[in-house]
């Protein structure tokens, strides 16, 4: 029998979020709905999840000593990584000492950088992926580009939201791609992955939940990206039944290898009837924000249920839905959103403003959500909402 006590009282449960962005904020809210105390960590003050958490700390999660110090003070029942840049060696040690790392310390370690997960998928599990090479030096990078060929995609082995990612379309792009990757890595300059360009019909995120009663799949999510950063997503992505079955097989195989409980965002390319594995995140996925309007239990609610060992007997889908990221460009510590009465004038629409304290260059600051009679209608709604939204920096 599962028992949760009262927050701040003996017997109460405590969760520590390693990462407090917009995804972590939704996880914090779902944890609190079930009476779990939430401690939020991030590298800057007033991160979105910190604004709703019971307690917060500003810390670099790559600092294993500081991370261990906080965990020894708080003694959380659940340690929930929400970012790639984290001291995974410390998490492995803490797990051996009895702490519950979500989904597992090994999963966090393997998916923290693109090298670990790509080698697991392609070399150990035999899943089809794009051609790839890793390079830790400039000379190695030049040689890898020659072997993979142009066009190709270059990414730091540890980054998110498209940071450090670029496409080499001609020889003149090679040096620029190296510089972008070195500047954009979450842990600073370092190793990169060079991937052969994959021609695909569309790409999906297949959200996969490992829970106490097995593995469940959400409806596939289609999306498009710009410079590696998600711009829009929709659910469900139309797929042939046999292709969806292949995608589910790949998702179950990779998530089973990673183990643990929680939601995984499995990204795949689809070409004709072929399914090509791309990446997996052992946590809620940005493209999955569409589930906040498309179904009764969002990806965040499902993640929390799975973590806490609660059943997921069904996932009710409300209908075709879409999301559109609101990316603000400029430099400001006081962003305002205006004309919301018009933005939300259409039926079955919502907006989530993340509450990020500042923007420099560009930053995802909100998301627009809509549901319609068809995917096309839902996508058109978020586009109309976007044109009505006024932002002042």
Q: Which residues are catalytically annotated?
A: 160, 162, 267, 279, 286-287, 364
CB atoms within 10 A of CB 34: 16
Is residue 325 within 8 A of residue 12, CB to CB? The reply is no
Alpha helices in 169-240 (DSSP H): 174-184
User: Which class for 85: exposed (0-12), middle (13-18), buried (19 or more C-beta within 10 A)?
Assistant: buried
Is residue 265 within 8 A of residue 283, CB to CB? The reply is yes
**314 φ, ψ (degrees, to nearest 5):** -160, 160
The DSSP code sequence of 121-159 is: IIIIS---B--EEEESSHHHHHHHHHHH-SSEEEEESS-
Q: Tokens 């929390």 — which residue?
A: 304
CB atoms within 10 A of CB 338: 12
Alpha helices in the chain (DSSP H): 22-33, 64-74, 88-96, 105-112, 114-118, 138-148, 174-184, 241-258, 291-294, 299-307, 340-343, 375-388
CB atoms within 10 A of CB 151: 12
CB atoms within 10 A of CB 253: 15
Cβ-Cβ contacts under 8 Å for 290 (sequence gap 6 or more): 221, 233, 234, 235, 321, 322, 323, 369
Residue 5: DSSP 8-state:
-
CA-wise closest residue to 177 among 156, 157, 197, 161: 156
CA-wise closest residue to 19 among 1, 39, 42: 42
């Amino acid at each position: 029998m599962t028992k949760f006590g009262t927050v701040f009282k003996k017997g109460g449960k405590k969760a520590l979020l390693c990462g407090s962005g917009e995804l972590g904020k939704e996880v914090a809210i779902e944890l609190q709905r079930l009476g779990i105390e939430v401690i939020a960590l991030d590298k800057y003050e007033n991160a979105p999840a910190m604004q709703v958490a019971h307690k917060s700390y500003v810390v670099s999660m790559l600092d294993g000593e500081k991370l261990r110090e906080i965990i020894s003070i708080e003694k959380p029942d659940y340690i929930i990584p929400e970012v790639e840049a984290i001291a995974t060696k410390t998490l492995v040690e803490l797990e051996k000492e009895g702490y519950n790392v979500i989904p597992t310390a090994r999963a966090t370690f393997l998916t923290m950088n693109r090298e670990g997960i790509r080698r697991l998928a392609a070399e150990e599990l035999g899943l089809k992926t794009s051609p790839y090479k890793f390079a830790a030096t400039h000379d190695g990078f030049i040689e890898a580009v020659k072997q993979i060929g142009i066009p190709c995609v270059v990414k730091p082995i540890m980054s998110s939201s498209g940071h450090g990612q670029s496409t080499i379309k001609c020889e003149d792009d090679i040096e620029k791609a190296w510089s972008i990757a070195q500047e954009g890595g979450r842990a600073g300059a370092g190793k990169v992955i060079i991937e052969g360009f994959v021609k695909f019909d569309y790409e999906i995120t297949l959200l996969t939940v490992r829970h106490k009663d097995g593995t469940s799949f959400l409806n596939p999510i289609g999306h498009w990206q710009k410079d590696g950063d998600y711009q829009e997503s929709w659910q469900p992505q139309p797929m042939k039944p046999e292709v969806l079955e292949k995608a589910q097989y790949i998702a179950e195989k990779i998530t089973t290898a990673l183990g643990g409980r929680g939601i995984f965002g499995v990204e795949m390319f689809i070409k004709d009837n072929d399914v090509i594995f791309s990446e997996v995140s052992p946590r809620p996925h940005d493209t999955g924000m569409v589930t906040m309007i498309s179904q009764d239990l969002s990806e965040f609610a499902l993640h929390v249920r799975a973590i806490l060992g609660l059943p997921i007997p069904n996932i009710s889908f409300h209908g075709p839905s879409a999301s559109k990221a609101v990316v603000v460009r400029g430099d400001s510590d006081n962003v305002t959103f205006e004309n919301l009465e018009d933005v939300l004038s259409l039926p079955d629409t919502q907006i989530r403003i993340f509450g990020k304290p500042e923007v420099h260059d560009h930053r995802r600051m909100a998301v627009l959500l809509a549901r319609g009679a068809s995917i096309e209608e839902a996508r058109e709604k978020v586009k109309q909402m976007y044109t009505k939204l006024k932002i002042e920096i």
